[in-house]
Amino acid sequence: MTVVGPGSSRELADLGRGSRLEDRPAWAATEALAADLGASPDDVETLEWSALVYASVEALARHGARLVAVAQAGLADEAEPGRGRLGALDWKQVTAVFADDPAAAPVVAVLGPAIAGLDVDAAWEHPGLAQFASETGLLWYDASELARGLVWAVTTQGNELVEL
């Protein structure tokens, strides 16, 4: 199953250096998410895109930036439609990482603190967030390109994802 987990650059850097992430929130294209959205469970593209958007909003609320890892893993304990937990994750399972385009930094700088600590449903109610999250694309990075870059970003730029 393809799952999308929100994270910080430090967490992803640790993962890239061989650490495992345990008991993490994640989103996936589940039947419950399809029912919640009124979508067909066969519309995998729409459901995976929705999981990506929801995970990016959760990352923004938790870490101040939209940074998510896409992985092949199982989703456990689906407490709400499409959202559950990853038991454990290692870098070999990660297939891609999505992050904010640097051009979105001014909006992220306003929205991040405004929704800090909120769950996705509460964050979604913030004026402008739904439009930003739905219409402002995320940059895609192949996992094989990123392990070194994320480590570098943590050690030299704080908690920011930068391209090398």
Strand-pairing partners, residue 96, are 70, 142
Of 84-88, 138-142, 147-151, give the lowest mean pLDDT range.
147-151
- Enter the pTM of the model: 0.88
- Residue 150 has a pLDDT of 52
Rounded to whole angstroms, how far apart are CA atoms 105 and 138? 12
SS3 state at 125:
coil
Structure tokens at 2: 């393809």
150 versus 4: the higher-pLDDT residue is 4
| Predicted pLDDT of residue 148 | 56
pLDDT for position 157: 47
Q: pLDDT class for 146, splitting at 50, 70, 90? A: low
Which of 85-99, 119-133, 147-161 has the least mean pLDDT? 147-161
* pLDDT of amino acid 27: 97
